[in-house]
Amino acid sequence: MSEAKPEGRLTTRTLAMPSDTNPAGDIFGGWVLSQMDIAAGICAGQRAQSRVVTVALESMSFIRPVKVGDILGLYTAVTHIGNTSMTINVEAWVRRDRIGTREKVTEGSFKFVALNDSGSPKQIPDESELPDYVLEH
């Protein structure tokens, strides 16, 4: 049986620390959510080639707890592009105790709007206008 694999591009990676725990000793879900929003924002900003803002969290599923010492890897993929907005899917995977089994722990869908220098919504550029690094997998 082959190991399940993340969908999307590895965007950020961080270590879950004791200061991020809830009263039960697991990593606080809000910390995981904030890490996911950061990764989604990086992905959206690169695709928009501008400042972006989170306007909606369209879905969120906590599948398994994150533990102290886990490496949290956030994988992102653009799933929809509109005129000024886009949807980013984020999968959160951990490497247990920094070296152990890889498990999907959380997934969510974030909606962003691209902004111009004045803070108004702006058109998202066509793929042909993007630098190569944005399109690399």
Q: Report if residue 2 sits inside a domain.
A: no
- Residue 108: per-residue pLDDT: 98
Q: Report if residue 41 sits inside a domain.
A: yes
Containing structural domain, residue 41: 13-124
- Residue 1: per-residue pLDDT: 46
Identify the CATH number of the domain in which residue 31 sits.
Answer: 3.10.129.10
Q: What is the pLDDT of residues 30-84, one digit of tens each?
A: 999 999 999 999 999 999 999 999 999 999 999 999 999 999 999 999 999 999 9
Residue (of 109, 119, 128) closest to 51 by Cα position: 119
Q: Report if residue 5 sits inside a domain.
A: no
Query: Which tops the pLDDT comparison, 123 or 135?
Result: 123
Number of domains making up the chain? 1
Q: d(Cα 54, Cα 100) in Å, to the nearest integer?
A: 33
Q: Report if residue 102 sits inside a domain.
A: yes
Residues facing 23 on adjacent strands = none
- Residue 99: per-residue pLDDT: 80
Q: Report if residue 131 sits inside a domain.
A: no
Q: Report if residue 8 sits inside a domain.
A: no
Q: For the whole model, what pTM was predicted?
A: 0.93
Q: Report if residue 4 sits inside a domain.
A: no
Q: What is the pLDDT of residues 91-102, one digit of tens each?
A: 999 998 778 789
